[in-house]
Structure 1
Amino acid sequence: MEILAVQSNDRVPIRNFSQVEPYLFRGGQPVKEGFFALNEMGVRTVISLRWGKKVIAAEKAAVEDLGMKFISIPLNYWNLPKQETVDMFLALIDDEANHPIYVHCFHGSDRTGILLAIFRMFRQGWSFSQSYDEMRKFGFHRFRLQNFKWWLRKFSRAHGFH
């Protein structure tokens, strides 16, 4: 399977913004203009992978004030996703009631990258190499976060994706 071309939209004022599927978008942390753009695009659900009570509370208010649904799945750099987190993320993506969905962390590259790599493998049949290559295209910090690559490789092998 060939990796799909990275589709970005320079008109959306969000760092590292891209469309993954017609119903799924990814990128970095939106600011006010970014949330307005997502709302205008018809995004129904925002999934934030950021952590910190104040960060989560501020974003929840901004998203819900625009009538969108806010879901927080806080991930950090030192605790890798657990199976329950992966299962919850995939279930949210699978639920058409949530579509269209925007998934983000701060940069839109590391935490977003690892969960979307899992989506690519589990829902689209991509290999580890294809998924990891896409992470790198979106700026994955591979030298600083080698544990993410190690975890993704181990996780993919445990589930039959090589």
Structure 2
Amino acid sequence: MPAATLAAGQARPADWATPVDPALRLYRIAPNLYRSALPNGADLPTLQAQGISTVINFYQRNDDWLSGSNLTAVHEPLHADRVTDTDVIRVLREIRAGQQHGKVLIHCKHGQNRTGLMAAMYRIVFDGWSREQAMAEMLEGGFGDGELMSDAVGYLNRVNVAAVRDAVASGACSTNAMALCQLRALWQRADPLPDQRMAMDAG
């Protein structure tokens, strides 16, 4: 496990994300997961050289730069000041789905707040890091000014980690049983599709 905080003069923990391209704030979080600021067409060779096959974008849609490449674009727009457990669970599943096909890049505009939050939750849910360890990497890992990550810090301070981890493991879409996605799933299970109802009536 990495240190919970980076003391003055302490070497960067080996488990922290590895710098790849500082200008893009491109870091390797894990062998199959990267993070960055907003890329463009000029960055495509760098991403392809890393073997990235899926790009998950938390910022506004801007997929034109991927045109003609073999990279898959996934758009998960997020507002940093209102990220919910449902958002986190959905994104973590998108990351895992992308990793089934290769390496994944997650990014927002600056590669700090939204990207930092999701990278930290990946560390907590999948890598088994503590809240404090994930936050230390997020704030001190070289991704930019910590003051620009206040929304991510706020979420990490209040999130029920066990509830998110359980939801991801169980397949639930939210930690809230009354969330719209949960109610929709219950309704779909309770109300068979029209074809199924017709088959049942015919039987």
Amino acid at match of 1:88: R
Runs of 4+ off more than 4 Å: none
* TM-score of the pair, normalised by structure 1: 0.81
Q: 1:83 aligns with which of 85, 96, 104?
A: 85
State which drifts further: 144-153 or 119-128: 144-153
- 1:150 corresponds in structure 2 to 154
Alpha-carbon distance in structure 2 between the residues aligned to 1:160 and 1:23: 22
Q: 2:119 aligns with which of 106, 116, 125?
A: 116
CA distance 1:98–1:153, change in 2 (3 Å): farther
Q: 1:28 aligns with which of 37, 42, 46?
A: 37
Please say if residues 56 and 76 of structure 2, whose CA atoms lie closer than 8 Å, have aligned partners that are also in contact: yes
Matches within 5 A, 1:71-110: 71-79=74-82, 81-95=83-97, 96-110=99-113
- 1:5 corresponds in structure 2 to 16
CA distance 1:158–1:26, change in 2 (3 Å): same
- Relative contact order (alpha carbons < 8 A, sep ≥ 6): 1 or 2 greater? 1
Q: Which has the larger radius of gyration?
A: 2
- 1:68 corresponds in structure 2 to 71
State which drifts further: 114-123 or 89-98: 89-98
Amino acid at match of 1:84: T
CA distance 1:60–1:43, change in 2 (3 Å): same
Matches within 5 A, 1:33-72: 33-51=42-60, 56=61, 59-72=62-75
CA distance 1:156–1:42, change in 2 (3 Å): same
SS at structure 1 position matched to 2:110: coil
CA distance 1:157–1:40, change in 2 (3 Å): closer
Please say if residues 16 and 137 of structure 2, whose CA atoms lie closer than 8 Å, have aligned partners that are also in contact: no
Alpha-carbon distance in structure 1 between the residues aligned to 2:94 and 2:164: 22
Please say if residues 49 and 111 of structure 1, whose CA atoms lie closer than 8 Å, have aligned partners that are also in contact: yes
1:23-54 CA-to-partner distances (Å, cap 9, x unmatched) read 11111111222123212332110001102xxx
- Could you list the runs of 5+ residues in structure 2 that have no partner in the other structure? 4-14, 166-203
SS at structure 1 position matched to 2:159: helix
1:91-130 CA-to-partner distances (Å, cap 9, x unmatched) read 1222233421011111111110001100000001111111
* TM-score of the pair, normalised by structure 2: 0.66
State which drifts further: 16-25 or 143-152: 143-152
CA distance 1:130–1:60, change in 2 (3 Å): same
- Could you list the runs of 5+ residues in structure 1 that have no partner in the other structure? none
Please say if residues 64 and 70 of structure 1, whose CA atoms lie closer than 8 Å, have aligned partners that are also in contact: no
SS at structure 2 position matched to 1:120: helix
Please say if residues 57 and 107 of structure 2, whose CA atoms lie closer than 8 Å, have aligned partners that are also in contact: yes
